[in-house]
């Protein structure tokens, strides 16, 4: 017998995440104070770095784009009751797909090679997620364990490929050659220039629009289609799904592939949108941040958009901050991210009871 | 006036905006058996949870033996001599009876000392109350009735003077229930006070001295049992005239719809869950499957609905062999397409998704129908319209298609499932526990709908642990015990005693 939650819906949806975020920032502020910096000044620097000038905004949105994809990836699996921790590895492998297409076919015009690369990113990401999905559905191997292991396998595989096979001939750096320009996804400032608008030069590219479209498509697929209906039924109540005659194993496998494909698109943003070559560190934890983005965004596209923006801003603002304040290292930013994940994820319901009490007091009066 | 064991005055309890207990006042005489009845959600459980210290009342007072008390937690309750036997037993299966009874009430550091002391005490209790429980038996190997006696012993061992029993007969055969009542009468004779929470009117009339009737969080009647009849209590509970008698016309069985032959199911450990089960079911009749839960009925329903594969035997439905049906989709989907509808036993875990809105649950299992697709997406309008139709035809309250199913009462959840399954116009309807956890008003309604379905020439297979329900609805009754059919008889020849013996496998 559980007591029904006494919180109104809007408080659960908005007030609690806001409080959690605030608590995380408060603790970060404490740490910053401890190392002898002024937290308020740091926060100002960070916000200014993320949103204060056009270039900053461009970078913020560029990071946001990748986070939207990996966030959606986690959410997709989550709706099927699966916790996909493997976004990082799936994105990594998707990068391989993109790279193979580009290295092999980038003599072709952009309108051929870019769609092919997009397709390859999704297929490689999906394939890498398919195996844990299959193992979960048919063998009962826990998806959390397998996806984590697959991250390591992906990392080892890619290191070997980059160091031994795909490395640019004659180079010492484990990175491929630059892709031909036909395979580059147009930057936003280039597109704007065509329209006669001058924007600062940032890696923000057309993939951003693809991310926004993905949010809408995700919503329609998950909440408005028969496919999403079976996905959510399996996720919420597997017994009911069996009762309804849904092919549970298949749904689980397809959900993982869908998830992997979404994670794969993040590789497109990084490789075709920004670096235009593959290097060892291009995933840079983006797959893991996706977990936090989905958790904070309550696995809903709108929430994911907001939380991806938050993490994008944190990344960009954090970088700016560490330029200004040498005492604030990259690790400090990771710490802040970690605290946000801790408060918004693991300690999600920390404020539920006190809030419920507060509401009770208010309604009594 | 007799001495009072419990006296509640003006007790109120809120959960958010829900007023679960409204101004509850009643008294229980010492050394009496007091029934508390009410429909699901009437607030009985909340009230008992307050007495047992799980919840705190928001206002009002509780007096035990004339003294005002505050019961902060169950520990407090036990210390004050209140014992509770839950509907779902709180026992460790792998421990002996003795170990279970001492668990949580150990004294001193060495367990052995506690066990020795307890053994003597237990022997006394066993003798005084005629409980007949072997202290060295492993609890997991005991029958349900015995396990319940262990729970009672546990409470008595902790010095309970007031014993609260929550739906104690839900899992018992009629004979076991009689046994329990014998024990309760002995307890009463020894001066103990018994609070019996139930929704079975017959039991209340059988054994209680006084009854408190609850409805919608309020007390609507405090009566002396000897002064009232079944109908009076039902009317009080529901708040209007209830017709407990079902109008049943003679069945006109048609062609055979379902022929089950030598159906067996063996689980991974080699236990035979179903053993050579055979029966037939005709159009226009209701066949009831009686039995104590856990004797193979659930497995039978699962196989017939395609959720589980049989180990051996055949199921022939309208001339089609189902066990070897060639299909690429899951069998449950294929069977449904053939016209087999299924109201599952475990409503909230199988029949619907609690976190879904009601309109989403209105298509569960029928989500593939072309009528509700719109290109790649759902035809949301059609789905909501269908749900609204269900809601009005089956009087679902509150009439809100967007409300989460989990927020509806059991009866209203069941109405949605029933509406959905009946709407598919099935040839064969499999129904498990149609009224478990459903309030009386809804039971009446559900029974009528099932009867109408039978009169319309459908074949219905009804599994229920409620004998009254089986007797009221069925045309023929099959009794199951330990996975086997232990008897089959027309309803005219069936009595509760006869069925009880068959259920216990004594015949």
Question: How many other C-beta atoms are found inside a 10 Å radius of the C-beta of residue A5?
Answer: 14
Number of Cβ within 10 Å of residue A13's Cβ equals: 15
**Is B82:B162 a contact under the CB 8 Å cutoff?**
yes
Q: Are A114 and A106 in contact (CB under 8 A)?
A: no
Q: Residue B243 above 60 pLDDT?
A: yes
Smallest CA–CA distance, residue B260 to chain A, in Å, is 21
Answer whether A220 sits within 8 Å of B377, measured CB to CB.
Answer: yes
| A330 in a structural domain | no
pLDDT at A17: 83
Lowest pLDDT segment from A98-102, B310-314, B347-351, B384-388: B347-351
The mean pLDDT value for B359-384 works out to 95
Mean pLDDT, chain B, whole residue set: 89
The shortest C-alpha distance from B55 to chain A (Å) reads: 10
% of chain A with per-residue pLDDT over 90 = 77
A311 in a structural domain: no
Neighbouring C-beta atoms of residue B273, cutoff 10 Å: 20
Query: Among A48-52, B201-205, B477-481, where is mean pLDDT lowest?
Result: B201-205
Residue B492 three-state SS: helix
Write out the E strands in B141-271: 162-166, 193-198, 210-215, 218-224, 256-266
pLDDT of residue A352: 82
Tokens of residue B369, six digits: 């129908």
Token pair, residue B457, equals 């020439």
**Structural domain tally of chain A?**
1
Average pLDDT of B55-63?
A: 90
On chain A, the residues whose CB falls within 8 A of the CB of B373 are 226
Q: What is the mean pLDDT of residues A36-42?
A: 92
b/e sequence A297-311, b meaning 16+ C-beta within 10 Å? bbbbbebbbbbbbbb
Residue A64 forms part of a structural domain? yes
Chain A residues in contact with B355 (beta carbon < 8 A): 236-237
Interface residue of B378, B381, B407 to substitute, partner A, most A CBs within 10 Å: B378
- The answer, yes or no, to whether residue A109 has pLDDT greater than 80, is yes
* Beta carbons of A4 and B351 less than 8 Å apart: no
> Coil, helix or strand for B257?
strand
A351 located within any domain? no
Structure tokens at B120: 């003597």
Residues on A contacting B at a C-beta cutoff of 8 Å: 1, 3-6, 220, 224-226, 229-230, 232-233, 236-237, 239-240, 242-248
pLDDT tens-digit profile of B245-279? 777 888 899 999 999 999 999 988 888 999 999 99
ipTM: 0.87
Band (B280; pLDDT cuts 50, 70, 90): very high
Structural domains present in chain B: 4-238 (3.40.50.300), 254-339+427-507 (3.40.50.300), 350-425 (no CATH)
Residues of B in contact with A236 (CB under 8 A): 353-356
Please tell me the distance in Å from B185's CA to the nearest CA on chain A.
30
Give B359's pLDDT tier (boundaries 50, 70, 90): very high
The answer to whether residue A364 scores a pLDDT higher than 70 is no
| CB contact (8 A) between residue B305 and residue A246 | no
Per residue in A197-208, pLDDT (tens digit) is: 999 999 999 999
Q: What is the DSSP string of B357-385?
A: BHHHHTTTT-TT-GGGEETTEE-HHHHHH
For residues B158-167, give the mean pLDDT.
90
Q: Is residue B482 left, alpha or beta, with left meaning phi > 0 and alpha meaning psi from -120 to 50?
A: left
> How many Å apart are CA A30 and CA B146, to the nearest integer?
60
Indicate the residue of A226, A243, A248 with minimum beta-carbon distance to B350. Answer: A243
Chain B residue with Cα closest to A7 = B16
Which of the residues A245, A252, A357 would you substitute to probe the B interface, choosing the one with the greatest number of B C-beta atoms within 10 Å?
A245
**Shortest CA gap A8–chain B (Å):** 10
Q: How far apart are CA B231 and CA B223, in angstroms?
A: 14
pLDDT of residue A6: 60
Say if residues A274 and A62 touch (Cβ distance below 8 Å): yes
**Cβ <8 Å between B336 and A226:** no
> What values do phi and psi take at B88, rounded to 5?
-100, 120
Closest residue of chain B to A237, computed from CA coordinates: B353
* DSSP H or E segment with residue B287: strand B286-290
Quick check: is A312 in a domain? no
Query: Which of B29-33, B211-215, B229-233 shows the lowest mean pLDDT across its residues?
Result: B229-233
Chain A's closest residue to B365, CA to CA, is: A244
Identify from A78, A79, A236, A243 which residue to disrupt to test chain B contact, counting B C-beta atoms within 10 A and taking the largest count.
Answer: A243
Q: Any bridge partners for residue A350, and if so which?
A: none
Cβ contacts of B138 within 8 Å, gap of 6 or more = B93, B94, B95, B96
Is A119 inside a domain boundary? Answer: yes
Q: Do B364 and A240 touch (CB under 8 A)?
A: yes
pLDDT at B440: 75
Tens-digit pLDDT profile for residues B397-452: 889 999 999 888 788 899 999 999 999 999 999 999 998 877 777 888 899 999 99
Query: What mean pLDDT do residues A352-361 have?
Result: 80
Please report the beta strands in B346-496, taking only residues with DSSP state E, as ranges in sequence order.
373-374, 377-378, 428-432, 459-463, 476-481, 484-490
Residues of A in contact with B364 (CB under 8 A): 233, 240, 243-244
Tokens 């092999």: give the residue: A104
| Residue tagged 């003294």 (tokens) | B67
Q: Would you say residue A319 lies in a domain?
A: no
pLDDT digits (tens, 9 = 90+) for A194-236: 999 999 999 999 999 999 999 999 999 999 999 999 999 999 9
Shortest distance between the Cα of A15 and any Cα of chain B, in A, equals 18
Please give the helix or strand (H or E) that residue B63 lies within, else none.
strand B59-64
Q: Model confidence over A295-321: pLDDT tens digits?
A: 888 899 999 999 999 999 999 999 999
Q: Distance from B380 to chain A by nearest Cα, in Å?
A: 8
A3, A5, A247 ranked by CB distance to B329: nearest: A247
Mean pLDDT of chain A: 92
B19's enclosing H/E stretch is strand B18-29
pLDDT at A365 over 60: no
Residue A146's domain spans which residues?
54-287
Two structure tokens written together for B2: 């007799």
Does the residue A172 lie in any domain?
yes
């Amino acid at each position: 017998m559980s007591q029904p939650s006494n919180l109104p819906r809007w408080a659960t949806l908005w007030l609690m995440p806001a409080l959690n975020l605030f608590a995380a920032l408060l603790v970060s502020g404490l740490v910053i104070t401890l190392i002898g910096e002024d937290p308020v000044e740091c926060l100002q620097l960070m916000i200014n770095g993320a949103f204060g000038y056009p270039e900053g905004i461009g970078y913020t949105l560029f990071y946001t784009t990748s986070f939207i994809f990996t966030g959606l990836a986690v959410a997709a699996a989550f709706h099927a009751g699966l916790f996909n921790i493997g976004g990082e590895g799936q994105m990594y492998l998707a990068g391989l797909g993109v790279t193979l297409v580009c290295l092999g076919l980038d003599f072709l015009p952009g309108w051929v090679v870019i769609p092919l690369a997009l397709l390859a990113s999704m297929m490689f990401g999906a394939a890498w997620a398919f195996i844990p999905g299959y193992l979960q559905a048919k063998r009962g191997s826990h998806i959390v364990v397998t996806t984590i292991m697959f991250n390591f396998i992906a990392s080892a595989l890619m290191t070997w490929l980059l160091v031994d096979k795909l490395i640019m001939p004659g180079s010492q750096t484990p990175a491929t050659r630059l892709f031909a320009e036909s395979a580059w996804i147009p930057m936003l400032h280039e597109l704007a220039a065509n329209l006669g608008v001058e924007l600062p030069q940032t890696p923000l590219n057309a993939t951003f629009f693809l991310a926004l479209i993905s949010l809408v498509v995700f919503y329609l697929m998950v909440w408005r289609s028969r496919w999403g209906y079976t996905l959510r039924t399996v996720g919420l109540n597997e017994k009911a799904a069996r009762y309804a005659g849904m092919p549970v194993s298949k749904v689980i496998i397809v959900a993982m592939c869908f998830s992997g494909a979404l994670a794969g698109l993040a590789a497109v943003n990084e490789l075709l949108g920004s670096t235009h070559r593959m290097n060892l560190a291009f995933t840079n934890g983006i797959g893991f941040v996706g977990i936090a983005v989905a958790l904070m965004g309550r696995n809903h596209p709108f929430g994911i958009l907001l939380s991806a923006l938050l993490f994008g801003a944190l990344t960009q603002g954090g970088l700016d901050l560490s330029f200004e304040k040498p005492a604030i290292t990259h690790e400090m930013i990771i710490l802040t991210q970690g605290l946000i994940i801790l408060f918004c994820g693991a300690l999600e319901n920390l404020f539920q009871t006190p809030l419920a009490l507060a509401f009770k007091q208010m309604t009594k009066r | 006036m007799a001495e009072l064991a419990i006296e509640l005055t003006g007790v109120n309890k809120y959960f958010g905006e829900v007023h679960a207990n409204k101004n509850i006042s009643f008294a229980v005489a010492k050394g009496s058996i007091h029934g508390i009845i009410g429909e699901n959600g009437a607030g009985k459980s909340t009230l008992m949870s307050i007495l047992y210290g799980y919840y705190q009342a928001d206002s009002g007072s509780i007096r035990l033996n004339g003294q005002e008390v505050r019961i902060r937690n169950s520990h407090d309750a036990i210390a004050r001599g209140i014992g509770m036997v839950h509907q779902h037993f709180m026992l460790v299966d792998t421990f002996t009876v003795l170990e279970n009874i001492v668990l949580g009430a150990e004294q001193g550091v060495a367990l052995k000392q506690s066990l020795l002391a307890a053994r003597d005490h237990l022997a006394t209790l066993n003798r005084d109350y005629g409980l007949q429980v072997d202290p060295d038996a492993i609890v997991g190997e005991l029958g349900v009735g015995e396990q319940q006696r262990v729970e009672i012993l546990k409470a008595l061992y902790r010095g309970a003077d007031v014993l609260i029993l929550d739906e104690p007969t839900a899992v018992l055969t009629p004979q076991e229930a009689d046994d329990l009542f014998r024990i309760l009468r002995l307890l009463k004779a020894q001066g103990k006070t018994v609070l019996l929470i139930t929704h079975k009117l017959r039991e209340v009339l059988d054994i209680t001295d006084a009854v408190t009737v609850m409805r919608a969080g309020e007390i609507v009647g405090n009566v002396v049992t000897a002064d009232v009849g079944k109908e009076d209590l039902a009317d009080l509970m529901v708040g209007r005239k209830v017709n407990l008698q079902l109008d049943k016309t003679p069945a006109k069985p048609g062609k055979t719809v379902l022929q089950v032959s030598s159906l067996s199911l063996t689980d991974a450990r080699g236990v035979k869950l179903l053993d050579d089960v055979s029966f037939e079911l005709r159009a226009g009749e209701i066949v009831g499957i009686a039995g104590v839960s856990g004797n193979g009925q659930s497995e039978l329903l699962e196989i017939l609905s395609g959720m589980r594969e049989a180990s051996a035997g055949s199921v022939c439905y309208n001339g089609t062999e189902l066990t070897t049906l060639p299909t690429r989709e899951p069998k449950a989907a294929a069977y449904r397409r053939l016209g087999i509808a299924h109201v599952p036993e475990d409503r909230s875990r199988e029949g619907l998704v609690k976190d879904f809105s009601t309109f989403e649950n209105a298509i569960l299992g029928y989500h593939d129908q072309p009528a509700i697709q719109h290109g790649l997406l759902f035809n949301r309008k059609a789905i909501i319209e269908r749900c609204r139709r269900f809601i009005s035809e089956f009087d679902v309250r509150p009439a809100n298609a967007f409300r989460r199913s989990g927020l509806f009462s059991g009866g209203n959840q069941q109405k949605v499932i029933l509406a959905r399954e009946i709407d598919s116009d099935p040839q064969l309807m499999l129904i498990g526990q149609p009224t478990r956890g459903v309030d009386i008003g809804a039971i009446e309604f559900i029974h009528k709908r099932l009867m109408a379905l039978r009169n319309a020439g459908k074949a219905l297979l009804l599994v229920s642990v409620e004998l009254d329900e089986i007797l009221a609805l069925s045309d023929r009754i099959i009794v199951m015990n330990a996975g086997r059919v232990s008897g089959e008889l027309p309803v005219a020849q069936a009595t509760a005693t006869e069925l009880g013996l068959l259920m216990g496998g004594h015949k």
